[in-house]
Each structure stands twice: as structure tokens, then as C-alpha cells.
Amino acid sequence: MPEFETLVIHAGQAPDPTTGAIMTPIYQTSTYRQDGVGRHRGFEYSRTDNPTRAALERCLAALEGGATGLAFASGMAAIDAVVHLLQPGEHVLAADDLYGGTYRLFETVYAKLGLSFSYASPANPVEFVSQLREETRLIWLESPTNPLLRLCDIAEIARLAKRARPRVLVAVDNTFATPYLQRPLQLGADLVHHSTTKYLGGHSDVVGGALVCRDEQTAGRLRVLQNSIGAIPGPFDCYLVLRGIKTLAVRMDRHCASARRIADHLRQMKGVAAVYYPGLADAAQAEVASRQMHKPGGMVSFVMRAGGGAAVRFAEATRLFSLAESLGSVESLIEVPAAMTHASTAGTPLAIDPALIRLSVGLESVEDLIADLDQAMAASA
Ligand SMILES: *Cc1c(COP(=O)(O)O)cnc(C)c1O
């Protein structure tokens, strides 16, 4: 098996057989001429299958080490397909500290359709798994979590969950780590989810989602759902994600190195009450990080000592860090989760500290980024 740095460039993307084109062509077509009635060349209609999407799906499967990859129109559309695996009356056990949109999908769309959801801290795997119910069909994990960047022990949770309930599916939203830093299927998960909008696309120019499954049976059911629901990405979007993936390994190395420098710098700043970064975590978290992550990632969160008002002023004062939702791109972004990405959790047990700021550390000069944070701190005092 080639190394990851080779897979990102070549997996699933052999040069085009008709022309030798090095880059996977954008097959901007909805349908395909058939050689005879019912005799086609593997492609009938582009909701079902498209060669550009097929290349992306093969590449994703190779990167995560799974049997099958499936691409979707957005990260949320991919999660929607997973939830459709369940029957009314079944239950999902999710980690708390969840992506806000996932929480909203569970609570506002699916809770009224007869599924039930509960949330628990995954910090202690034994306690987390003790929340499984007779009717639990799916475990939904994120690691690192958003926005507090806490880790959960994927291998231990998967092992305990399978022992208690062999039929339960363990799914991991791997958007923050990417397969370069963490491969959940190797840790015992059944399904990996990505918002390819983030690090995989990597350039803030496309919205997309993906699933990679360990076994063919779940993959087959998800393939039917992908085609039946129809939330597929267009060929141009697939091309953009494939193109972004080619530089994933080098980008992640730089994101991680700069994020660590910035996390260290924030820790020295008087106006900062706490810094969340997996590489600076307490011993228990650091131990999990060293077992399941190759490096701690490119996201850093911190709490402003002066409170929510100061957090808003800080986020509005940066010049290089753009005030924006999303993450994982070449440019640095800043946001206040309680007022932006996680506004839907207000008033719930998952509500976020208004003084928390989340940074997506981009690929600019780290010296310039640190200078920007320093001037924003001075401006927000
Ligand atoms: C962005 C994101 C999603 C949702 O993906 P979209 O592409 O925006 O639909 C899900 N999970 C995490 C962790 C995300 O960051």
C-alpha cells in the first residue's frame, strides 16, 4: 500500500483512459449514451454515478482505509444519509460538544420522525457506553470536538460498544482531524464522516460531504440512500475536492505547526483565560492524542478573560484572520461560536461560553498571524 502522501495524489485517479489527461476530467454530463438497450459502460445517469464523483469516492476510500467512499452535496447531506439507516423507535447516542448543525439536524428534523437522541460526555468511555439503550443503533462521535477540541478515545469506545451491542454502528465525524491525522476505521469505527468543505477541499471554494464505510453491506445501503435521496455533489465540486486533497498532507503539516505556535503564544497572553488545543491538553487527553492522532490539528480555541463582549470585539478587530464561519482552508478564520456556528445550542445543555473564540489557523506566515492576534488583543481591551 503506498504511503498517504502518494495516495492523496494518485488514489482513484488513474490518468483518463481516453486521452491520458493527468487531471481527472470534469464529466459535466447528466446522462450517458448506451451501446444497446440495457448495455452501458458502467454509467447510466449522473445522480447514480458520474466518473468524476467515482474518482473522488475511490480516493476517499483509500485515504480512510475503507471499502467504499460516498460523496454528498454537503457534510449535512452525508449525515442525513447515515440517519436514514435507522428505523422509527431507534436511538442515537451522540457525544456532547457536537457540531451545531448535527445537533440541529438530530433535534429539529429527526426527533419528530420517531427517532430519539441523547448526548453524553465521551471523556470516560465506560460511562459513555453505559448510556447505550436496547434500541440504540448508532453512536455518533467527533474527535477533536468542535469548538472545545476535546478528544475521545475512539478505539476504546468502539470496543466497549461492540461488546455491549454488536449491532450498533459507530460513526466518527473526522472533519477536524482529516485522514492524514486520524483514521477512525483502523480504530474500530464502522463509518467515517467528512464535511469536505473544510480541510479536504481546503480552499473555501466548495461545499461537500463524504462517508467512508468499513463494510460492503452498510456501504450498499448507503449507496441506495445516496441515489434515492439524491443529495449528490456535481462533477465540478467533486473535481475541486479532488484537487484540494492532493495537497492535504503538506497543508496539514503546516496547519499543525502554526497552530501549535499560536496555541503556545495565546497561553502567554494575559487577556486569555484558557486555551484549548489537543497538543496542550491534560495528561489523559495527551495520551489519547498520542495513540490516535498523528499530530494535534490546525484548530485552536481560547477563552477571553474579559468575557463575551471582549470576545466579540477581538473577533471584529483581527485583520488577517477573517471573521467567518467554516474552517480548514488556506486562509485563517476567526469566529465566536456562541454567537455564530453554535447559536442553535443557546439555552440547551450544549450551550457554549460566549467568551470562547475559535481560530482556524491558515497557511499564512505564522509571525504575521501572531502579530494580528496581538493587535486584536490590544484593540479589544
Ligand atoms: C462543517 C461541518 C459539518 C457540516 O458540513 P457542511 O459541509 O457544512 O454541510 C459537520 N461536521 C463538522 C465537524 C463540520 O465542521
DSSP for 71-115, written as a single string: EESSHHHHHHHHHTTS-TT-EEEEESS--HHHHHIIIIIIGGGT-
pLDDT value of residue 99:
87
The reply to whether ligand 1 has any atom less than 6 angstroms from the CB of 74 is: yes
In this predicted model, what pLDDT tens digit does every residue of 131-173 receive, in sequence order? 999 999 999 999 999 889 999 999 999 999 999 999 999 999 9
- The protein residue whose alpha carbon is closest to atom 8 in ligand 1 is 75
Domains for the chain: give ranges and CATH numbers.
4-245 (3.40.640.10), 250-380 (3.90.1150.10)
Q: Provide the pLDDT for residue 349.
A: 76
Atom of ligand 1 nearest to the CA of 76: 9
Q: Do 168 and 201 contact (CB within 8 A), yes or no?
A: no
Nearest to 245 by CA among 77, 81, 61: 61
Secondary structure of residue 39 in the 3-state scheme: strand
Share of the chain above pLDDT 90, in %: 90
- Which residue matches cell numbers 454488536? 166
pTM: 0.96
Pocket test for ligand 1, best of 79, 82, 172, 197 (most atoms within 8 A of CB): 197
pLDDT of 146 reads: 86
Tell me how far the alpha carbon of residue 195 lies from the centroid of ligand 1, in angstroms. 5
Could you tell me if 210 and 200 are in contact, meaning their C-beta atoms sit under 8 angstroms apart? yes
| Residues taking part in catalysis | 47, 99, 173, 198
Strands 116-120 and 91-95 come out as: parallel
Cβ–ligand 1 distance for 207 under 6 Å, the answer yes
Q: What is the pLDDT of residues 216-234, one digit of tens each?
A: 999 999 999 999 999 999 9
pLDDT score, position 345: 76
